[in-house]
């Protein structure tokens, strides 16, 4: 917490605006849309809810397909299934670890031949690094497919000077407890299409028709953010640039201390982009010493340090075992390789230098010693 949140929470209590909606929600939406540079925003209960609303508004329904990055958390794809549609997973490319333009093009070419183009494409900006939006948007524009940007992890990141999440028809953000700013649980849907945002507000408040009595003509959802949590978000948003700097500082300290190890390769920043470095991620090259990410995670665990694997690709998940998947190239499965070699280091914006030095020392010692059978 920044220390600024309590001011807005106290205002909510003193004015008795406790229930969903209220002045903090209105102000948070206005402040957020101004920060990322879009015409409007709708504060909701989670990033997942924001994706679900976007898909619903775009008319995704039973029998449709939606293309989605495979290298991401399951929340990116679950809303596709909520709508009765089928996800089709697109591999990563090595420069950004995000959606592969060549895999997307191949998937759309095949979909066109089958006369079953997707209703939408969900492009994820992973670990704060923006995807190759120029190439991806150009391909989607050719087929007139709307884009939803899953920017749950990339608030504060830029692509060619423009905020991540503001290129597609919709952008979504998450304020879950592990994100760069948090409302404890919450999300935001943004767009430059204000008519679509009005529709989103309608659906997110149980789709209540304009009538004196309670009347409903279509399915709605209970997805609006509470006035209390929006107050937390306002206090957090005031320090977003500080959070980005802290995250980037954490990444730079790791990279400066560890880049001399030939077995380690840190996730790079694509030219023309600015990453919030939400998590410091790297790959561990296969080596004769037998050191793997899983081995390092075990070593860290013995020192009470929590490190994690990178996301398991969704096309490898039991939940989606029957879904289609398009690799980056013939016999080139980038997301699968990243899953085998990737590692996330402790990256909290409140990580002290002493704590980070302990992580670095543990990793240095682990890489310098032979693996014990």
In tens, the pLDDT along 205-258 reads: 999 988 888 999 999 999 999 999 999 999 999 999 999 999 999 999 999 999
Question: Which of 211, 239, 267 is the last residue in one of the domains?
Answer: 239
In this prediction the pTM is: 0.94
Say yes or no: 31 and 126 in one domain.
yes
Say yes or no: 177 and 248 in one domain.
no
List, in order, residues 6 or more apart from 264 with CB less than 8 Å away: 258, 282, 283, 284, 285, 367
Residue pair 279/128 in contact (Cβ under 8 Å)? The answer is: yes
Say yes or no: 250 and 224 in one domain.
no
Structural domain boundaries enclosing 223: 5-239
**Is the pLDDT at 328 greater than 70, yes or no?**
yes
Query: Tell me, what DSSP letter sits at residue 19?
Result: S
Partners of 66 in beta bridges: 87, 120
Return the structure tokens found at 236. Answer: 């957090």
Residue pair 267/281 in contact (Cβ under 8 Å)? The answer is: yes
Q: Residue 186 domain-assigned? A: yes
Residue pair 70/325 in contact (Cβ under 8 Å)? The answer is: yes
Q: Residue 373 domain-assigned? A: no
Average pLDDT, the chain: 95
Residue pair 147/293 in contact (Cβ under 8 Å)? The answer is: no
Say yes or no: 30 and 76 in one domain.
yes
CB atoms within 10 A of CB 91: 27
Longest dimension (CA), the chain: 74
pLDDT, tens digit (0-9, with 9 covering 90-100), for 16-65: 988 778 999 999 999 999 999 999 999 999 999 999 999 999 999 999 99
pLDDT, tens digit (0-9, with 9 covering 90-100), for 99-130: 999 999 999 999 999 999 999 999 999 999 99
Give first-to-last CA distance, the chain, whole Å. 43
Please count the structural domains in the chain.
2
Say yes or no: 161 and 264 in one domain.
no
């Amino acid at each position: 917490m920044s220390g600024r949140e309590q001011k807005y929470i106290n205002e909510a209590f003193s004015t008795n605006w406790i229930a969903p909606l209220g002045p903090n929600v209105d102000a948070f939406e206005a402040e957020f849309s101004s920060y990322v540079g879009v015409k409007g925003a709708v504060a909701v209960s989670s990033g997942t809810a924001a994706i679900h609303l976007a898909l619903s508004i775009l008319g995704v329904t039973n029998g449709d397909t939606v293309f989605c990055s495979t290298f991401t958390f399951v929340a990116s794809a679950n809303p596709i299934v909520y709508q009765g549609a089928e996800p089709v997973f697109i591999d990563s490319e090595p420069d950004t670890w995000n959606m592969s333009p060549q895999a997307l093009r191949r998937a759309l070419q095949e979909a066109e031949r089958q006369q079953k183009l997707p209703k939408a494409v969900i492009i994820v900006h992973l670990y704060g690094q923006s995807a190759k939006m120029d190439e991806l948007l150009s391909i989607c524009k050719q087929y007139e497919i709307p884009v939803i940007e899953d920017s749950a992890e990339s608030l504060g990141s830029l692509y060619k000077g423009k905020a991540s999440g503001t290129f597609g028809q919709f952008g979504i953000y998450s304020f879950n407890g592990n994100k760069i700013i948090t409302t404890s649980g919450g999300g935001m849907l943004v767009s430059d299409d204000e008519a679509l945002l009005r529709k989103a507000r309608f659906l997110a408040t149980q789709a209540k028709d304009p009538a004196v009595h309670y009347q409903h003509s279509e399915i709605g959802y209970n997805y609006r953010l509470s006035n209390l949590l929006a107050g937390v978000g306002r206090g957090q948003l005031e320090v977003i640039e500080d959070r980005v700097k802290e995250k980037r500082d954490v990444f730079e300290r790791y990279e400066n201390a560890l880049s001399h190890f030939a077995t380690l390769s840190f996730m790079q920043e694509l030219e023309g982009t600015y990453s919030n470095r939400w998590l410091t991620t790297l790959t561990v090259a296969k080596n004769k010493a037998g050191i793997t990410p899983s081995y390092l995670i075990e070593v860290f665990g013995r020192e009470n340090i929590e490190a994690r694997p990178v996301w398991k690709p969704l096309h490898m998940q039991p939940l989606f075992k029957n879904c289609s998947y398009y690799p980056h190239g013939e016999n080139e499965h980038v997301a699968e390789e990243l899953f085998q070699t990737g590692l996330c280091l402790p990256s909290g914006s409140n990580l002290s230098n002493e704590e980070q030095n302990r992580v670095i020392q543990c990793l240095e010692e682990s890489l310098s010693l032979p693996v014990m059978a």
